[in-house]
Structure 1
Amino acid sequence: MTGDLMSTVRQMMDQTDLPQEIFLDAIQSALMQAAKRRYGSTEEVSIELDPETGEICCYVPKKVVDIMHSFAREIPIEEARKIDPNVKVNDTIQVEADTGDFGRIEAQTARQVLVQKIKEAEREQVYEEYKEREGEIITGYVQRIDRNAIIVDLDRTEGILIDGEFNRNAGYRRGDSLKCIIMGVENDERGLQILLSRNHNDLVVQLFEMEVPEIEDGLVEIRAVARDPGDRSKVAVYTNDSSIDPVGTCVGVRGSRVRTIVDELDGEKIELIRWHEDIQTYIKNSLQPANVSHVNINEEEKSAEVIVPEDQLSLAIGRRGQNIRLSSRLTNWRLNVKGEAEAMEQMKKDVAQVFKSDLPDEDEE
């Protein structure tokens, strides 16, 4: 059996990069289980392995008897005294077992345990590798598309994009290359599970880091991201170097840099916004492409009233409120957009109310 077991080990070692110690421990566990099946207990069974030669020795306890009834659990006094001259009948001694005497069932048990232990070790190794990469970007390939999930081939293992973490309208096909963020890595009784996302803001950030050296070098910063994944994003960029245009740097020559990111994000439109420390200026910038006349801010409520020309009102709000919604998320301020006519009408009402409150009551006259 040992020869078959070592053959299985060598075959598995060629297929994985696990350290030799893992295999030695697995062999020991496999033989212990085989010995338990044959001898009924492993409490006093010991396994010795020579990592250099691959030689395996298995020692089992046997009772010294005059007349042997069980080969597996007893040893004749004559044979026992060849091991220990001082041994007596009814003593128990450790006897080297010939693993070649293990039957088909024991051999099968050993191989099953070996394969299981190696798979567990490999799964743990993969878990640790990907656990360290949580939050990072990774490239995989569409392996299978289910109704509510996409299974992604990550080379050594699989990842999963669950519903809500990918663009359902992208029309992915088997074999498509996808860049994803590793959101979480779990290893429990259900097995190893790597949770991926293409809808997380960090995907946009890290794609820009890959495409724009100035971001990777720290010359340009991404201060905020707001997304409607698969449709539209706003990205606020900043630099304290007056010689650098942060927006133009991210766009690239003739849009080459941002176009690469748009293609990776299934055509998601990306608007680069110049971040500004003055919140009124930042809010104005965030509502691009709409032109803004004025911004009235309420610091206490962290809200702002944004006044725009009448012909810019629908542009500022956007289709189904998308532009104002993304701007609010980008700036982290609650925004309310009004046309100039509505704002002027409201101002007249407010002024009239002020004057009305200042007039004396008729009773006072």
Structure 2
Amino acid sequence: MKAEFIEALEEIEKEKGISKDTIFDALELALISGYKKNFGSSQNVEVDINRESGEVKVYAKKSVVDVVEDELLEISLEDARSLDNKYDIDDVVKIEVTPRNFGRIAAQTAKQVVTQKIKEAEREIIFDEFINRENEIITGIIQRFSKNNILINLGKTEGILAPSEQIQGEAYNQASRIKTYILEVKKTTKGPQISLSRTHPGLVKRLFELEVPEIQEGVVDIYSISREAGSRTKIAVYSNDENVDPVGACVGFKGARVKAIVDELNGEKIDIITWSKDDTEFISNSLSPAKVLKVEIDEKEKSALVVVPDYQLSLAIGKEGQNARLAAKLTGWKIDIKSESQYKQETGISLTDDSYEIEKSDNNFL
């Protein structure tokens, strides 16, 4: 290797951020393997590369002993002192054994090592970039399909949308742009593995953050989200400013903001409800769009009995129990829903729409 090689390493150091010493250390280790493979594997050798000139030298390392039993690994005290009087028993002598054609082997190995180090550095850069973007939204282009996985071009690398993270019934077309949620970034021997999702509730959260300036500014906060991807999502929001309606901010003028999110999710229904400190009120709100007459809560069991008008029982429960299920996930409470007539039959208490209102806490929203 010549000075040109040193200059090339300096360029790589500037452009790729890989230090020369890192490459030299890796190259020396690789050349030791190369030497042993080509010139004998039993020797204990050391390779030294001059950092200024690029000159490569190979040294056999031998222990100084009284009686030599293995000439490849040992040298007598007499022979050692013929090289330098400073040596004594148990010292290690380095004897140059650089082969004539070792420069060619060194050049080939250097090319392989540099190429490998550049790949490793690029993978590290990509990993560092994406590990800091976990739980964020990213836009990519659908590249190809592999064993039900969808590989998405993210620019510098690809992300994987696994079958479990795909929305059932959603069409995924090659070369089309798609927004996904970065679920996880892992290091592998082949580089960073980026797992993406279209089903995670975090996707909905990030979409609202993109569409609603009040959320970006911290005026409106998202308390919780429950989602059955491709079908329906419930999102609970609250305002830090009493003059700002959190639901109205998320819906937008003529529903423009929420419509943009629904369109991105290909028609997934979204219920936006107001979170309240008062659990009774929060549970009542969570069953929107159904009207609630009464909520009885059991703090110990973290369960709630909700009474709704007879004609709204099916709406409160939802198709296949979806509305009640999502409300339970959203609030963290077990919810049992009964119709007004069922409640009257069991308790003897009649609730009328005109005279009964849900008891509300005097607490304001956070």
TM over 0.5: yes
Counterpart among 55, 58, 70 of residue 57 in structure 1: 55
Distance 1:138 1:267, change over 3 A: same
Deviates more, 1:144-153 or 1:304-313: 144-153
Asked if 1:157 corresponds to 2:157, the answer is: yes
Asked if 1:102 corresponds to 2:103, the answer is: yes
Structure 1 residues 250-269: aligned runs within 5 Å: 250-269=250-269
Q: Distance in 2 between matches of 1:180 and 1:235?
A: 19
Instruction: Provide the identity percentage.
Output: 43
Q: Secondary structure at the match of 1:49?
A: coil
Q: Secondary structure at the match of 1:335?
A: strand
Asked if 1:248 corresponds to 2:243, the answer is: no
Counterpart among 36, 41, 46 of residue 48 in structure 2: 46
**Are the equivalent residues in 1 in contact too, given 2:46–2:60 (CA < 8 A)?**
no
Structure 1 residues 285-364: aligned runs within 5 Å: 285-348=285-348
Once the two structures are superposed, residues 266-316 of structure 1 have per-residue CA deviations (whole angstroms, 9 ceiling, x without a partner) of 322111101111111111111111111111212221111111111111111
Q: Distance in 2 between matches of 1:177 and 1:120?
A: 29
**Are the equivalent residues in 2 in contact too, given 1:29–1:114 (CA < 8 A)?**
no
Q: Distance in 1 between matches of 2:333 and 2:259?
A: 29
Displacement of 1:115: 2.1
Q: Distance in 1 between matches of 2:167 and 2:48?
A: 57
**Are the equivalent residues in 2 in contact too, given 1:135–1:183 (CA < 8 A)?**
yes
Task: Extract unaligned runs of 5+ from structure 2.
Answer: 62-71, 73-81, 85-92, 350-366
**Are the equivalent residues in 1 in contact too, given 2:16–2:118 (CA < 8 A)?**
no
Distance 1:311 1:323, change over 3 A: same
Q: Distance in 1 between matches of 2:3 and 2:153?
A: 35
The ranges of structure 1 where at least 4 consecutive aligned residues each deviate by more than 6 angstroms after the TM superposition are: 3-14, 95-98
Task: Extract unaligned runs of 5+ from structure 1.
Answer: 64-72, 74-85, 350-365
Q: Distance in 2 between matches of 1:37 and 1:3?
A: 26
Q: Distance in 1 between matches of 2:23 and 2:140?
A: 29
Structure 1 residues 218-257: aligned runs within 5 Å: 218-257=218-257
Amino acid across the alignment from 2:243: S
Structure 1 residues 74-85: aligned runs within 5 Å: none
Q: Secondary structure at the match of 2:165?
A: coil
Q: Secondary structure at the match of 2:114?
A: helix
Displacement of 1:139: 2.3
Distance 1:24 1:338, change over 3 A: same
Question: What is the RMSD computed on CA atoms of the aligned residues?
Answer: 3.3
